[in-house]
A and B are shown apart, each in its own frame.
Chain A
Amino acid sequence: MEVINKMRLSFPSLSQNESFARQSVAAFALQAGDWTLVEMDEIMTAVSEAVTNAIIHAYEEVVGEIHIHASILTGNGIEIVVEDNGIGIADIEQAMEPLFTTKGEQERTGMGFSFMESFMDRLSVSSAVGKGTKVRMVKWLAISPADESV
């Protein structure tokens, strides 16, 4: 798996940055190939979930930096990494359980990781308490039967 192109985006953990972040990644993702409209929505939603998690959970009372690294992969794929240097996750397995949330009183559904898992082909999370969290996602363009015959 080789990297054809990559980009890096950094911005403060403010909610007004959620929209441009997901749209920037989607625009970059077009370099991997002709995603369907639904696939573009899936990529944007997955990025939005990861970025929103960082904004809400990583930096509680302060504003920190969120870094997105995206890479176009050979074979029509995109790798997206959303990283923060915030408080980290003590129990990653628990955090990724569907419907688990530490902010229920803020009307959080706890579905963020479930959505990332449903909409992307690979999802992995690494974190260290007090150091930060890194969410890595990969998505491949679906090959249509017509392409496979070539």
Chain B
Amino acid sequence: MQINLETRGHVLIVRLSGELDHHTAESLRIAIEKELDRDIVSSVLLNLNELTFMDSSGLGVILGRYKRLSQVEGRMAACCLNPHVERIFKLSGLNSIMGIYPTEKLALAQL
């Protein structure tokens, strides 16, 4: 899985491509934690446009980062989900705790 990071103001944009599963989840956890530790960003946007696979392990790493951000009143959003990933978000209820947007632009406007 490729992780592309961009800091725009107070938002960390995380663009994923490839597969997010138990094997690759740890690398995502480490990458986001490292950026959050720098105390520059207070919100995270996950751009899942090029994510080809996700299972509950992916939800776990996303939820873990959400919990950390919540503790400092930070926010998290996701954009560009494919139909299957969107279904997984809905099944888990993740869509009710973070905004889901069709484009990066719309998501950034809310963060």
Q: Is B35 an interface residue (CB 8 A)?
A: no
Q: Is B64 an interface residue (CB 8 A)?
A: yes
Closest Cβ of chain A: how far from B91's Cβ, in Å? Answer: 6
Q: A114 and B53: CB pair below 8 A?
A: no
Q: Is B63 an interface residue (CB 8 A)?
A: yes
CB neighbours (8 Å) of B54 from chain A are 45
Number of interface residues of A (CB under 8 A): 25
CB neighbours (8 Å) of A144 from chain B are none
Q: B84 and A38: CB pair below 8 A?
A: yes
Closest Cβ of chain B: how far from A29's Cβ, in Å? Answer: 15
A42 CB contact (under 8 Å) in B19, B56, B84? B84
B53 CB contact (under 8 Å) in A16, A41, A52, A108? A41
For residues 32 through 63 of chain A, which have their beta carbon under 8 Å from a beta carbon of chain B?
37-38, 41-42, 44-45, 48-49, 52, 55-56
Q: A109 and B53: CB pair below 8 A?
A: no
Q: B29 and A107: CB pair below 8 A?
A: yes
For residues 15 through 38 of chain A, which have their beta carbon under 8 Å from a beta carbon of chain B?
15-16, 18-19, 22, 37-38
Number of interface residues of B (CB under 8 A): 22
CB neighbours (8 Å) of B92 from chain A are 109, 111
For residues 77 through 99 of chain B, which have their beta carbon under 8 Å from a beta carbon of chain A?
83-84, 87-88, 91-92
B22 CB contact (under 8 Å) in A18, A37, A42, A45? A18
CB neighbours (8 Å) of B29 from chain A are 107
For the residues of A in contact with B, the DSSP-based class is helix
Kindly count the residue-residue contacts between A and B in the assembled complex, taking CB atoms under 8 Å apart: 65
Q: Is B21 an interface residue (CB 8 A)?
A: yes
Q: Is B73 an interface residue (CB 8 A)?
A: no
For residues 93 through 123 of chain A, which have their beta carbon under 8 Å from a beta carbon of chain B?
106-109, 111-112, 114-115, 118
CB neighbours (8 Å) of B19 from chain A are 19
CB neighbours (8 Å) of A42 from chain B are 84
Query: Given A38-B84, A109-B92, is A55 in contact with B55 using a C-beta cutoff of 8 Å?
Result: no
For residues 41 through 87 of chain A, which have their beta carbon under 8 Å from a beta carbon of chain B?
41-42, 44-45, 48-49, 52, 55-56
Closest Cβ of chain A: how far from B27's Cβ, in Å? Answer: 11
For residues 53 through 70 of chain B, which have their beta carbon under 8 Å from a beta carbon of chain A?
53-57, 59-61, 63-64
Q: Can you list 5 A-B pairs with a CB-CB distance of less than 8 A?
A: A19-B19, A19-B23, A22-B53, A38-B83, A38-B84
